[in-house]
A and B are shown apart, each in its own frame.
Chain A
Amino acid sequence: MGKRIGHRTVKFTNAPAIISFASAAGENEKKGPYGGYFDLTFDDGLWGEKTYELAERKMLTRVSQEALKKAGLTPADVSYMLAGDLLNQIISSGFAARALEIPFIGLYGACSTMAESVMLGAMLADGGYALNVLCATSSHFATAERQYRNPLELGTPRTPTAQNTVTGAGALVISAQKAGFPAVTFATAGRVIDLGINDVSDLGAAMAPAAAETIITHLEDTDRGADYYDYIITGDLGTFGSEMLLRMISGTGRDISANHRDCGVLIYGGDKKMGCGGSGCGCSAAMMCGYFLNEMKNGRINRMLFTATGALHSPTSMLQNETIPAIAHAVAIENGSVV
């Protein structure tokens, strides 16, 4: 078939392209250095809704509609919506799909969902099984706190190593055989890696080994050097997790320190109030669909490897003293490349 290369990488031969993208963000993200890049922003966390869960649902629905509008598509033109989020039963995605009326495939990859959906969306489009695929994900600080830690009402203080769940969402549309757009060229699916870390306030350290393993596998499978990419982007490792990643990769004789960027580190611009940086599905989704794809569209970035990382624990598994399994999926996105 010629579509699989190396151990775990697929090569897209029909150049599935990202023809539009849109992002949303909350107030703290808007105040950050990339605030100007987000399409939809809101100020009070609730966005005029009664609950934070409704606000997250609205964010995911609106950002999906915005991406479709930019592509000049209606929901009827879209073959599949691939979406996921952090809440139980990925409920934000289910409700957003109910509103959009697009055939829905729910994903759970924790914070790796954006890369996971792009990988699968590109496979569907490249294989001819879909005309247009909508990939979307979201996270909300207040709903994630309730889901993973404590309700906001409890007023529990944050521990010093913790990251801040990003209130944000991203959506993009993938279409096959479209020239003149950034194309998804390769995807490397991650294995679940667990080196035994069990501190939920240190997810960056739990996910860094998964990111390192996937990035190295991708470079080996595609026979590319680390400097092939303008940027190698990780999702939400934070400051400490990023440092771990660079060390683990330099241990294999490669060096990505010059072109590595972490969305979690970038999004708040190092604001100390936000701990070690941002996390959550919305972190990499908003940075990808707000900043990075915009830079690709304007030709300031031409090749990037987007590696979103996810921690696959649950509140129950943590109470039962399990360690944190982590995953990272990588997708290569390139300008003007006819593979």
Chain B
Amino acid sequence: MNYLWAFAIGGAICAAGQILLSKTMMTPARILVLFVTLGVFLTALGVYEPLAELAGAGAQVPLTGFGYALAKGTFKAVDEYGIMGALTGGVTGTAGGIAAAVVFGYLVALIFKPKVKK
């Protein structure tokens, strides 16, 4: 059942992205930023937390999940350190994701070369 929810929610988020790509003039970069911001916004409203619990990686791996981690980290840091936490919490909460992106991006760039689609 966990897998099914992860598939359904994660798939729905990706489908929304594909629709934006195909039907609007938005560039991929703009859609990515929109998804992160949307994740932050929905987490602040308390909507994303239950979704992340239900769908697990299905809601946490797509970019909205990055926004979720940003917002969650910020809330946690504000609770612990007060107002300074609003500045430090976001990056702390997403440190794993950011470091993984840099490390694996670097490794993949070392190993593979981009190719033209046939």
Q: Do A and B come from one complex?
A: yes
Task: State how many angstroms separate the Cβ of A271 from the closest Cβ of chain B.
Answer: 11
Q: Known A159-B22, A201-B25; judge A141-B109 contact (CB<8 A).
A: no
Which B positions have Cβ atoms within 8 angstroms of A?
21-22, 25, 28, 109, 114-116, 118
Chain A residues bordering chain B, tally (CB within 8 A): 19
Q: Is the CB of B109 within 8 A of A26?
A: no
Interface contacts beyond A28-B118, A44-B115, A154-B28: sample of 11 additional A-B pairs, CB < 8 Å, sorted by A: A26-B116, A27-B118, A45-B116, A142-B114, A150-B28, A151-B114, A153-B114, A157-B28, A159-B21, A159-B22, A201-B25
27 contacts between A and B (CB under 8 A): A26-B116, A27-B116, A27-B118, A28-B116, A28-B118, A44-B115, A44-B116, A45-B115, A45-B116, A141-B116, A142-B114, A151-B114, A152-B114, A152-B115, A152-B116, A153-B109, A153-B114, A154-B28, A156-B28, A157-B21, A157-B28, A159-B21, A159-B22, A160-B22, A167-B116, A199-B25, A201-B25
Task: State how many angstroms separate the Cβ of A97 from the closest Cβ of chain B.
Answer: 26
CA distance A44 to B113 in the complex (A): 12
Which A positions have Cβ atoms within 8 angstroms of B?
26-28, 44-45, 141-142, 150-154, 156-157, 159-160, 167, 199, 201
CA distance A255 to B17 in the complex (A): 43
Nearest opposing residue in chain A for B26, CB measure: A159
Nearest opposing residue in chain A for B114, CB measure: A152
CA distance A153 to B114 in the complex (A): 6
Nearest opposing residue in chain B for A164, CB measure: B117
> What residues on B are CB-neighbors of A44 within 8 Å?
115-116
CA distance A141 to B115 in the complex (A): 11
